Amino acid sequence: MSTDYGDADTFLGVRLDRFARLRETVAGDYKATFGLTTVVLFVLAAVFAPELAPYDPMAQEYAIMQAPSLSSAHPLGTDSFGRDLLARMMFGARISLGVSLGAVTIGAVVGVSLGVVAGYFGGWVDDALMRFVDVLWAFPWLLIAIMLVAVFGQGVWNVVAAIAFAYIDDFARLARGEVLSIREEEFVLAAKNVGLGDVQIMVEEVLPNAVAPLIVQFTVLVARAMLAESTLSFLGIGVKPTTPTWGALLGQGRSLIGQAWWISIIPGIAIVITVLGINLFGDALRDAFDVRGEGGSP
């Protein structure tokens, strides 16, 4: 069902008129407007956290350590070490968003490469690569994360690696499926006849025509990666406990749930609003790019 867009203006391989449609979709749809606005607001809060945060996220106020509370000085409360939760959440947003974006980017680069090569060459290459992808898929990502932490200790990169690992198979399957339908198209055959190399054909002819569903997939998986990061941090197998991430903040609040419910609840609300925003925006992208279907691993 793919078409050669010929000389049509494109950005990242997506025709510009699709972006015009995206703009219309976002403007005419409360869901999409809400999604885009929240994502932008949270990204801004994360990027400008050092300038905007009301307190130093590591600063402890001993006076309120024993009695964490909501007050006008600390509207979102303080944690059990007397640290301001709003400041910690703003800095936490940098890690949570950064980890998710990084992990999905790595998963996308590796997975799309595998999928494009498998779909383009077919035959035994396809069989071998896709069985490798099956192995990745059969390996529970949570287990990969636990193992990485056991071998290398806690750290941001282990979390990125574990989540990236989990999404390679999603990207590989999607890319392969797209390529299978593209590779018999006339413009690919023409490129072969003209004598273009395989790599050049894959990068310049095939990939740009598969990019719309991949962008949608990317958006949806960033949302899932944020949930995965928060789960890992909550379980204590994510980043170092001193690093503020939304999941870690939530996890620390769990033991204090009787006296200070907000430590567990407020970072959770931040997670939900952000992930909801990304999901709604992804849905708008799906409509605008005319990509069907949803699914994949949670």
Partner 1 sequence: MGIQRYVAKRTLQAILVIYVVATAVFVAIRSIPGDPARLILGGDADADAIAAVRAELGLDEPIYVQYARWMADLARGDFGASIYTGEPVLARIAGAAEPTLSIGLVGISIAILIAIPAGIVSATRRDQWEDYVATGVAFLGISMPSFWIGIVLLLTVGTAVPAIPSYGYASISEGVVPWLSHVILPATAVGLPYAGIITRMTRSSMLEVLGEDYMQTARAKGLPPRLILFKHGLQNALMPVVTVAGILFALLLGGIVAVEMVFGIQGFGRLLIRSIERQDFPIVQGSVIVISIIFVFMNLFVDMLYMSINPKIKYGGGA
Q: Which residue in 138, 186, 195, 242 binds partner 1 (CB under 8 A)?
A: 138
Q: In angstroms, give the least distance from the CB of 173 to partner 1.
A: 7
Judged by CB under 8 A, the stretch of 1-9, 83-91, 209-217, 231-239 that binds partner 1 is 231-239
Q: What is d(CA 180, CA 130) in angstroms, rounded to the nearest whole number?
A: 13
Residue number, 201 or 237, with CB nearest to partner 1: 237
Q: Which residue in 125, 259, 261, 290 binds partner 1 (CB under 8 A)?
A: 261
CB 35 within 8 A of CB 278: yes
Q: Does 280 bind partner 1 (CB under 8 A)?
A: yes
Q: In angstroms, give the least distance from the CB of 66 to partner 1.
A: 22
Q: H-helix or E-strand containing 14?
A: strand 14-15
Q: Which residue in 78, 230, 245, 252 binds partner 1 (CB under 8 A)?
A: 230
Q: Does 150 bind partner 1 (CB under 8 A)?
A: yes
Q: In angstroms, give the least distance from the CB of 21 to partner 1.
A: 18
Residue number, 5 or 157, with CB nearest to partner 1: 157
Q: What is d(CA 256, CA 213) in angstroms, rounded to the nearest whole number?
A: 43
Residue number, 202 or 220, with CB nearest to partner 1: 220
- ∠ Cα 190 195 198 (to 5°): 90
> Reduced to 3 states, what is the DSSP secondary structure of residue 78?
strand
Judged by CB under 8 A, the stretch of 12-20, 91-99, 137-145, 188-196 that binds partner 1 is 137-145
* Long-range contacts from 19-28, C-beta under 8 angstroms, 24+ separation: 19/288, 21/288, 22/284, 22/285, 22/288, 22/289, 24/288, 25/284, 25/287, 25/288, 26/284
DSSP annotation of 2: -
Judged by CB under 8 A, the stretch of 7-15, 54-62, 74-82, 142-150 that binds partner 1 is 142-150
Judged by CB under 8 A, the stretch of 44-52, 60-68, 105-113, 173-181 that binds partner 1 is 173-181
Beta carbons within 8 Å of 117's beta carbon, 6+ residues apart: 125, 129, 202
> Reduced to 3 states, what is the DSSP secondary structure of residue 77?
coil
Q: Which residue in 70, 156, 196, 227 binds partner 1 (CB under 8 A)?
A: 227
Q: Which residue in 120, 141, 165, 171 binds partner 1 (CB under 8 A)?
A: 141
Q: Tokens in use for 295?
A: 């699914």
Q: Does 121 bind partner 1 (CB under 8 A)?
A: no
Q: Find the DSSP H helices in the chain.
A: 16-28, 30-47, 49-52, 85-121, 123-138, 141-152, 156-182, 186-194, 198-200, 211-235, 246-253, 262-289
Q: Does 103 bind partner 1 (CB under 8 A)?
A: no
Query: For 61, what's the count of Cα atoms within 13 Å in the CB-facing half-sphere?
Result: 17
* Site residues (vs partner 1, CB under 8 A): 31, 122, 130-131, 134-135, 137-143, 146-147, 150-151, 173, 176, 180, 223, 227-228, 230-231, 234-235, 237, 247, 250, 254, 257, 261, 264-265, 268, 271-272, 275-276, 279-280, 283, 292-295, 297-298
